[in-house]
């Protein structure tokens, strides 16, 4: 698709002059274990050198953007490349369209995703890559329409992209399948008109708040495990889901107030009596951010996830399988201090689950040596919850990471 985009942009005749720019970076990124070695052996979650090229061109109503990475992974001892983004924009007076691989961000949560239903790379996040690598691109079309009374964005994605989970060779964690399973199959939704994902967002200013409504029809990005009756084979699948949501964000109480919620309708387990497919859920988020001094900002969030038809889930759960909570809670805290003319950034982000009692702590120090060179030193510290919960089960994966980048 990227080749087609380039061809469209560069093909004569051009009735407009094109401005083309080239940017990118060289980066070293290393993450060392501090608690245990990788299950597959080795001291590093991540050890790589990476180069990224960004080509951007403007010509009349068209805009071309390409972002390509090439890297050498010392853990796997292999080189590879990745098209991070590659799309063509066309802009008219009251509408625009974007075709190609693109990163989409919806919702108002800070590292909590309710209406941001697009794919994530949690392996990158938990191993100390820069935050931009948490988001993955999708191959599809985005159409915006701006009639004045409100704004509308339609996203169509024919090619399913799952979340990137944690590799069992790099992360110690409990297997989601019982030891009796000898045959594992991974199934992703096949590309078809019926399986094409559709997402819609409508937004406008409402009494000083940015108000949005969301709709998504597609699939859970994280896989569920279906077991055979004799529990000797398992299939990782992505069940169908529809999401209906809303958000508000604006100035209030001397800071920025954020509210977000959504109903997840599990279309393959409407009654909640299949314990291997997520039940329908309601999700809510309350967030508040305030600048306490000229260079110090604090923010906090509280997140609730409520499982519908919990009694049916509990009744059908096989003996010995871990039981999810009817109500799951999560709180976050972010502190950011800027020093030395904002060249030094001290930050701290934490997740804490009151329902599971587990946590993830992410302290980081980042220093800009110049306009082109910066380095960051941080850590991922997991714990609590007695070894269960989304963070407690990763207790053996604490790591310290270093990022060093030259940008051009």
Which of 349, 350, 348, 359 lies closest to 383, judged by CA?
Answer: 359
pLDDT tens digits, residue range 40-72?
A: 889 999 999 999 999 999 999 999 999 999 999
Whole-number mean pLDDT of the chain? Answer: 93
220 half-sphere exposure, CB direction, 13 A CA radius: 22
Rounded CA separation 215/244 (Å):
5
Say what the pLDDT of residue 230 is: 83
Contact of 76 with 167, CB cutoff 8 Å? no
Task: Please report, for residues 243, 275, 298, 365, 406, the alpha-carbon distance to residue 343 in angstroms, rounded to integers and kept in the order given.
Answer: 41, 50, 19, 11, 15
Token pair for 22: 């080239």
Say what the pLDDT of residue 179 is: 80
Task: Calculate the CA 7 to chain-centre distance.
Answer: 31
pLDDT top residue among 1 and 317: 317
Q: How many helices (H) and strands (E) does the chain have?
A: 3, 21
- Reported as a pLDDT band with limits 50, 70 and 90, residue 16 is low
Q: What are phi and psi of 311, to 5 degrees?
A: -65, -35
Largest Cα–Cα distance in the chain?
69
pLDDT tens digits, residue range 266-290?
A: 999 999 999 999 999 999 999 999 9
pLDDT tens digits, residue range 230-243?
A: 888 999 999 999 99
Say what the pLDDT of residue 358 is: 96
Q: What are phi and psi of 386, to 5 degrees?
A: 65, 30
- Reported as a pLDDT band with limits 50, 70 and 90, residue 2 is very low
Cis preceding linkage at 13, omega within 30:
yes
Contact of 45 with 170, CB cutoff 8 Å? yes
Mean pLDDT of the 84-91 span: 98
pLDDT tens digits, residue range 97-106?
A: 999 999 999 9
- Reported as a pLDDT band with limits 50, 70 and 90, residue 26 is very high
Say what the pLDDT of residue 182 is: 82
254 half-sphere exposure, CB direction, 13 A CA radius: 6
Three-state DSSP state, 291: strand
- Reported as a pLDDT band with limits 50, 70 and 90, residue 205 is very high
Token pair for 219: 């699939």
Rounded CA separation 55/202 (Å):
31
- Reported as a pLDDT band with limits 50, 70 and 90, residue 18 is low
- Reported as a pLDDT band with limits 50, 70 and 90, residue 160 is very high
Range name among 173-187, 247-261, 275-289 with the lowest pLDDT average: 173-187
Percentage of the chain exceeding pLDDT 70: 96
Decide if pLDDT at 314 tops 60.
Answer: yes
Say what the pLDDT of residue 228 is: 84
Say what the pLDDT of residue 231 is: 82
Residues in contact with 352: Cβ distance below 8 Å, sequence separation at least 6, in sequence order: 330, 331, 332, 333, 358, 359, 384
pLDDT tens digits, residue range 343-395?
A: 999 999 999 999 999 999 999 999 999 999 999 999 999 999 887 788 999 99
Residues in contact with 307: Cβ distance below 8 Å, sequence separation at least 6, in sequence order: 272, 279, 280, 281, 313, 324, 325, 326, 327, 328
Decide if pLDDT at 5 tops 50.
Answer: no
Say what the pLDDT of residue 6 is: 47
Element (H, E) at 278: none
pLDDT tens digits, residue range 119-156?
A: 999 999 999 999 999 999 999 999 999 999 999 999 99
Beta-bridge partners for 234? 184, 227
């Amino acid at each position: 698709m990227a080749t087609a985009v380039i061809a469209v942009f560069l093909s004569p005749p051009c009735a407009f002059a094109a401005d083309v720019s080239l940017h990118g970076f060289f980066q070293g990124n290393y993450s060392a274990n501090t608690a245990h070695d990788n299950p597959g052996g080795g001291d590093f979650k991540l050890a790589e050198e990476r180069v990224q090229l960004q080509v951007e061109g403007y010509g009349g109503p068209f805009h071309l953007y390409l972002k390509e990475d090439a890297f050498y992974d010392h853990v796997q001892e292999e080189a590879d490349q990745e098209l991070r983004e590659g799309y063509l924009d066309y802009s008219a007076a009251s509408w625009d369209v974007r075709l190609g691989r693109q990163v989409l961000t919806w919702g108002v949560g800070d590292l909590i995703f309710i209406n941001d239903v697009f794919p994530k790379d949690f392996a990158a996040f938990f191993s100390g890559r820069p935050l931009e690598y948490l988001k993955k691109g999708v191959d599809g079309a985005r159409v915006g329409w701006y009639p004045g009374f409100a704004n509308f964005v339609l996203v169509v994605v024919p090619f399913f992209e799952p979340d990137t989970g944690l590799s069992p060779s790099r992360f110690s964690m409990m297997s989601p399948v019982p030891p009796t399973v000898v045959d594992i199959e991974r199934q992703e939704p096949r590309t078809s008109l019926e399986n094409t994902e559709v997402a819609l967002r409508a937004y406008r200013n409402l009494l000083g708040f940015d108000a949005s409504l969301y709709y998504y029809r597609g699939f859970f990005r994280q896989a569920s495990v279906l077991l055979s009756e004799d529990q000797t084979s398992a299939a990782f699948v992505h069940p169908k889901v529809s999401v209906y949501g809303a958000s508000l964000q604006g100035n209030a109480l001397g800071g920025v107030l954020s509210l977000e919620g959504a109903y997840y309708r599990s279309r393959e387990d409407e009654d909640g009596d299949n314990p291997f497919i997520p039940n329908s859920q309601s999700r809510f988020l309350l967030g508040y951010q305030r600048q306490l001094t000229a260079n110090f900002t604090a923010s906090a969030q509280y997140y609730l996830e409520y499982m519908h038809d919990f009694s049916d889930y509990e009744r059908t759960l096989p003996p010995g399988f871990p039981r999810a909570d009817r109500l799951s809670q999560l709180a976050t805290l972010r502190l950011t201090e800027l020093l030395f003319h904002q060249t030094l950034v001290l930050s701290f982000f934490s997740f804490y689950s009151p329902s599971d009692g587990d946590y993830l702590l992410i302290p980081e120090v980042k220093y800009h040596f110049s306009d082109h060179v910066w380095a960051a030193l941080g850590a991922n510290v997991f714990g609590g919850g007695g070894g269960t919960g989304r963070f407690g089960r990763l207790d053996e994966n604490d790591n310290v990471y270093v990022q060093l980048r030259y940008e051009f």
